[in-house]
Amino acid sequence: MRNLLVDCLRRRAADLGHSSLRQPARVLPGTFWSNVEKVNPDQADLRLSEETHQQGKETISVLPGGRPRLDMDGVLLKVRTFYPDLQSWAVAEPERWAVWSVPCPVRDADLRWFNVRRREIHARMAERTRVRQPLLPLLVDHVTDTGVPMARSSRSWSSLPPGRTASA
């Protein structure tokens, strides 16, 4: 299965840039499929039973340290885009992809609260900004006080010939 995931990511690489490909490359094999294997070690294809899907969602919803995963919707959305990709490739290249074309286990009900959770995430980010904004003048003063002298020293050091040492 991991080879299939690598082949799929290679196929997607033609359409995506490197930074856009990093997230699916981490989520699909590392988060999604590794959890499917934990829940059902004998899983041989992408057709997940309802039980495997539900147990996998429960496993994915908790980070290794025991904290709840805040980006659960992001994982489910990556999985949800993966399955239709396979289905569309199966039409173009049935000899390669048709065997892997199965229904997506992520249902609309799995993402029912996605917009609510997304608003909660934005609210948390806005709160962090409100809390940290009053500290911005202190940060600017600190960078100005320490950064400018360090930049001057760096310029003077970079003008030294090789092998010479700088004195304070």
- Predicted pLDDT at 136: 93
Partner residues linked to 62 by β-bridges? 68
Residues with Cβ within 8 Å of 18's Cβ and at least 6 positions away in sequence, in order, are none
DSSP 32-101: IIHHHHHH-TT--SS---HHHHHHHHHHHTB-TTSPBPTTHHHHHHHHHHHHHHHHHHHHH-HHHHGGG-
Binning pLDDT at 50, 70 and 90, where does residue 166 land? Answer: low
Q: Burial level of 126, CB count in 10 A (0-12/13-18/19+)?
A: exposed
- Predicted pLDDT at 14: 82
Average pLDDT of the residues of the chain: 87
- Predicted pLDDT at 167: 64
d(CA 52, CA 31): 14
Which tens digits make up the pLDDT trace of 138-162? 998 888 888 777 777 666 777 777 7
Pick from 63, 64, 54, 59: nearest CA to 38: 59
- Assess whether pLDDT exceeds 60 at residue 23: yes
- Assess whether pLDDT exceeds 60 at residue 6: yes
Classified as helix, coil or strand, 6 is helix
Maximum Cα–Cα distance for the chain, whole Å? Answer: 71
- Assess whether pLDDT exceeds 70 at residue 168: no
Q: Which residue has the higher pLDDT, 163 or 34?
A: 34
Residues above pLDDT 70, as percent of the chain: 95
Which tens digits make up the pLDDT trace of 88-102? 999 999 999 999 999
